[in-house]
Structure formats: structure tokens, C-alpha cells
Amino acid sequence: MTSEAGMAKGYDIARILNLLPHRYPFILVDRVLELAPGKNICALKNVTMNEPFFQGHFPDKPIMPGVLIVEGLVQAGGLLLVESLSTDIRNRICFAGVDQARFRSPVIPGDQLIYRVEILRQRSNVVKMSAKAFVDDRHVAEAKLMALIGMEA
């Protein structure tokens, strides 16, 4: 489904699983709220106490590991790229870098993470993106992401 502005809406988990190679327990995007190919994406992750990482991080005070928040941002960025590129190179996207990662506030069970990823620039086969994560209006994490397109596995 696409709005008048060309922004796709309503990606459910079945479509996400069709586009990403990740599977349980490592799929960290539950739904895509909006996607403008070649521009940006807004996606979400419902954080529940049932997440397997909460058993050890930390048993008495569960906090979502920052590295998994960044992974969720990378997966959202991957969805953006997959939907922005021609089908012949979709399977040849490789994330090559995460820079300036910052964690501003803890994410706990019951939170709903909102991922916002924007393509900053693409030169040849390198794409740079800005990624931010929010819970409600609270900015919880951010990073700069870099991907290489057309790489052979």
C-alpha cells in the first residue's frame, strides 16, 4: 500500500521476513510504519520481557543491550536499501560500518522502539545513513551506518 507521496505503509512481519535473512531470535524489526524508497524508513520493535537476552542482561534489572538496538537500526536500514535497489542486487548488500554510536537512555521491557533511518548519500556502491532510535518522544540511541552494495558473498 502506498500513500500519495509515494511512501509505503503497512509492512507486517511476514513481508519483513521475506525481505530480510534474519530469523528468531535475531529479527529485531516487527513492523514497518513508513518507507520512502531511496529516502527513509520508520519501523518499530516491541520490546517484551520474553526476549531471550533479558535472562542475562540483567536478571534483576532487564535492559536491552545497546548492540541489539544498533542491530535493529541496521535491519531497518537493510529494509530501506532492499526496497530502494533493483532486484538483481538486493541479495548483495553488506553492512560495512557503524560509526558514532551513542546510547542515551535505557530500553526496558514494555517499551516500543521506533527506528528512523535516512539515506544521507550514495556514491558508487557505498551508502551512508543516519539512524536514530526512540521510545515515545525519548531519543534512546543513534549511529551512522555504512553499507556496500553489489558485493559478492
Question: For residue 37, what is the domain's CATH number?
Answer: 3.10.129.10
Whether 24 maps to a domain, the answer reads: yes
Q: How far, in Å, are 27, 40, 77, 79 from residue 120 at the CA level?
A: 25, 9, 12, 16
Residue 112 lies in a domain: yes
User: In whole numbers, what is the pLDDT of the chain averaged over residues?
Assistant: 91
pLDDT of residue 150: 82
Query: What are the b/e assignments for 26-41, b being 16+ CB within 10 Å?
Result: ebbbbebbbbbbeebb
How many independent structural domains does the chain possess?
A: 1
Residue 96 lies in a domain: yes
pLDDT at residue number 92? 83
Query: Would you state the torsion angle of the CA atoms of residues 18, 22, 23, 24, taken in this order, to the nearest 10 degrees?
Result: -140
Give domain status of residue 3, yes or no: no
Question: 2 in a domain, yes or no?
Answer: no
Query: At 67, phi and psi to the nearest 5?
Result: -60, -30
Query: Active-site residue among 31, 57, 92, 132?
Result: 57
Angstrom distance (rounded) from CA 130 to CA 6: 21
Per cent of the chain over pLDDT 70 is: 90
Residue 35 falls inside a structural domain: yes
Residue 90: its pLDDT value, please? 66
Residue 1 lies in a domain: no
DSSP 2: B
C-alpha cell at 123: 556514491
pLDDT greater at residue 87 or residue 72: 72
Tell me which residue range forms the domain holding 101. Answer: 8-149
Confidence of residue 10 (pLDDT cuts 50, 70, 90): confident
Whole-model pTM?
0.92
Grid coordinates of 107: 530500553
> Is residue 94, in this structure, part of any structural domain at all?
yes
Chain segment 16-69, per-residue pLDDT in tens:
999 999 999 999 999 999 999 999 999 999 999 999 999 999 989 999 999 999
Residue 153 pLDDT level (bands cut at 50, 70, 90): low
Q: Based on the residue annotation, tell me whether 57 is a catalytic residue of this protein.
A: yes
pLDDT of residue 106: 98
